[in-house]
Amino acid sequence: MAIGAEMVIGIFKPVTRAAFEALELLHNKKYTTKFSPSSVPQRERKRRRRSISPETPKTPFVLSLLDDDKPINPHRGFVFGSDENSCDVLLTKDSSHGVSGVHFRLSLNWDSGALLIWDESSLGTRVQSTATNSKITFKKQSHPIVSGDKISAGLVIFTITTPDRAGNQLIFSQNMRKYYDQWIKEIPSIGAGSVTRSKSTYWDPGKISPFEILGSGTSGTVHKAVDCYGKFYAVKLLKSFRDRDENEMAIKRFYKEV
């Protein structure tokens, strides 16, 4: 059955050989499923048509809101690691790959729909952002994830993309709410929220992460941003100019407009 954009949480593209091997593990069979072309961002569809190799899997690695894809405990989200008894997604069976039994988990902010990653390992999880051209390795922290980010757990590296929902965004939000309401009633919140985690972002802890340009003026650029709780904001960032006088004028205009 093809999965439409209104049901897809994230699509995982393997980057390393270890990630390709994870796709082949029987434990993950239900997540390597067919998808509707509309679930894949347009630029990714064009790239796939240009570069098809024997190594490319016929089906992607997809997390969705379908009942068949539900995690063991929706309060914790999708758990990734090397312990098949504890994880929804098995990253490896090879102890030399640097993956903890429970390495990280992915969950949604159920109000905004933002995707968050929580490190649960003793080794740390790495996120590389294409939007901000930054890298961060964090331990026992949460971190926002946006389309195009690379997630690394040891040798296992995936690029995650979210679909072009376009007119399906409202339907996705409704499906997300139904999914959450259903499972929160049926599964007890064992251990969920009992441990306070530190938070982080692409830049500095406690600050928000810009990832999409909404508009630009003479002194600043407005970005869409997400914080470590999954809340979205519009943020104006000051432009930098080489000329000192021009830079000072831009700063004055910037603060006058804010």
Binding residue ranges: 236
State the Rg of the chain over Cα: 20
Which residues are annotated as part of the binding site for ATP? Answer: 236
In the block, tokens 């990630």 appear at 19
